[in-house]
Chains A and B, each alone.
Chain A
Amino acid sequence: MPRTDELPERGRVGASTGYVPHPGIIVTDLGDELVLFDPTNGEMYALQGPGRVAWSALGEGEAAAVDALVTRFEVEREQAAADVAALVRDLLQAGLIVERPGGDARP
C-alpha cells in the first residue's frame, strides 16, 4: 500500500545531525547486505561492504560514516569522505534517506 505525500519530502536538504532512512523505505538486514525496498515504485537497492558500513554510521552524520570507513577499511580519509559524499548524494536522490533535523551533518 503506497504512502502519500504527507511523508517527508524526498531529497530535502536542510540542517541535520545525520541521516535516517526515509520512513516509507523498508530496510531488511540480510546479514551480509542491507536491502532497501521502496514499496511506492518497487525499486530495490542493496548495500554491501563499505556501503553498508557507511549506512550504519550515517545516523550520526557524514563525519561518523567517514570515520567508520577509515577504521574498517584501508582507505585514505580523503577518499572515504568523497565516497561518503557520493553515497549520501545517491541515497538522497533515490529518496532512501532524509536528513535528521537539528544540526549540520556535513563533516
Chain B
Amino acid sequence: MPGPEPLEFPLIGRPLRARLRTPALHDWLVDRWQFEGHRAAPHPYRITLDEERHLPADLPAPHPGAGGAGAEAFAAELPGIRLRWWQRGPWWWTGGEGGAAIRFDPDGARIRIWNAGAASPDLTAALYLALNEALRASGLIPLHAAVVVNDSDAVALIAPSGTGKTTTLLRLLTAGWAPLAEDLSWLDPESLTLYGWDRGIRLWPPSIETFFPHLASAPWRTDPDGKLFLAYDALGAPRVPQARLARIIRLARRTNDRRANADPLAPHATEGAALPRGDQPGTSLTRLSPQESVRVFWEATGVPMLPATRAAVAGRLPEILRTIPFWRLELPEGPAPLPSLLPPPGSGN
C-alpha cells in the first residue's frame, strides 16, 4: 500500500490536496475528480482531504451514529444509499467506525475520512458528498444534466431518470453537437461557465440494442450498477471541457402512462406560446414560467447540506433566471426525439 503521498490538483481553480492511504480511493479520486482541460482562474478556496487509519481522537465528538437530542442532521440520498450527517461544532459527520467529517471555513474545507476499509461503498459516497459540498461552499453549483455544445454555447438537458436524457444526447451528437457532460457538470454562476464532469455516456444494454445498434460493437465497459459505459473518444465525439451555459431544457415524456402524472411539470407547468415543430409530431418546445424554472433548477442541482450554501445558491438564482432561458421539451412516447428539435449548431439560436 503506498504511503500517503499528497495528491494535488485543482478543482475548477480550487486547489485540492489529498493524502489517501487506500489505493482504491486514490484511483477513485483521480477518475471522478481530476479533469484535464478546464481553464479556470485560480480560486482562493482550498480543499484538503486526509485519510486516517482510525477515528481521529481530536475530533470533538464520538462517532455520530448516536445522533442525540438537538443534533442538527441532514439526510443525503444517493442511488441505493442514504447517508445521515450530523453537525457537531464546526464538523459535519457521517458514518461510525468508518466515516467522514467535513469542516467548512471561509477560506476552505477540510475533509477527514477514517477506517476506509470498513466503510466502502458508503464511505465513497460520503466522500463524494463531502467534495460536492466543498465545491458548493466555494461558490460552484452542480448541474445534473446532459450538456451539448455548439460553437460556444452549451444547452443543458435536464430530465428525471428514464426520460431519455442520454439517448437525446446521443442523437444530438450524431447531428453535430459536441458533448460537455452526460450527467454532471459544475456551473460557475459568476461567468455562467459550465465545466463538464464526466468522461463518457452510460446506458442500459436494452437502450443500446434498441436505439443505437450501430454502437453495439463499441468498447463498452460494464459499471458496477449494470449500466454500460462508453468514453466520449470511443464515440468519436471528443468532449468539450467547458462552455458558456446558454439554455436549459427540461425534457418531459408524453405518455398515457399514469406515471406521467408524477412528473411535476406535466400539468399546468408552462406559460407563453408553445412552439410546435411541424416536423416532429407530438413534440413541443415551451418556455417555462419563472416558478417552474425555479423547480427545474433545484431538480437539477439538488439541495445543499449547509443552510448558508442553500441561501447563497438561492441568491444566485434570480440572476440565472434573468440570463438563462428555461424551456420544456415534450417528447413523444417511444424512441428518442430527433435532433431537429434544437437549432442546429452554428445557427446562433
Contact = CB atoms under 8 A, between A and B. Distances in A.
B294 A1 contact: no
Contact of B75 (A2, A29, A37): A2
A71 interface: no
Contact of A26 (B305, B314, B321): B314
Contacts of B73: 3-4, 6
B77 interface: yes
A27 interface: yes
Contacts of A46: 291
Interface residues of B, number: 26
A4 B86 CA distance: 10
A49 interface: no
Most central of B72, B294, B304, B321 by chain A CB within 10 Å: B294
A26 B305 CA distance: 12
A6 B264 contact: no
A3 B302 CA distance: 12
B290 A35 contact: yes
A31 B330 CA distance: 29
B318 A29 contact: yes
A1 B314 CA distance: 15
Contacts, number: 57
Contacts of B291: 30, 33, 35, 44, 46
Contact of B295 (A2, A27, A29, A44): A44
A28 B318 CA distance: 7
Interface in B56-71: 67, 70-71
Nearest to A27: B314
Given A6-B67, A35-B291, 14 more contacts: A1-B74, A3-B75, A6-B71, A23-B307, A26-B298, A26-B303, A26-B314, A30-B318, A31-B318, A33-B290, A35-B294, A37-B294, A39-B303, A44-B291
21 contacts: A1-B76, A1-B305, A3-B73, A3-B74, A4-B84, A6-B70, A6-B71, A7-B72, A23-B307, A26-B303, A27-B314, A28-B318, A30-B290, A30-B291, A30-B318, A30-B321, A31-B318, A33-B290, A33-B291, A42-B295, A44-B295
Interface of A: 1-4, 6-7, 23, 26-31, 33, 35, 37, 39, 42, 44, 46
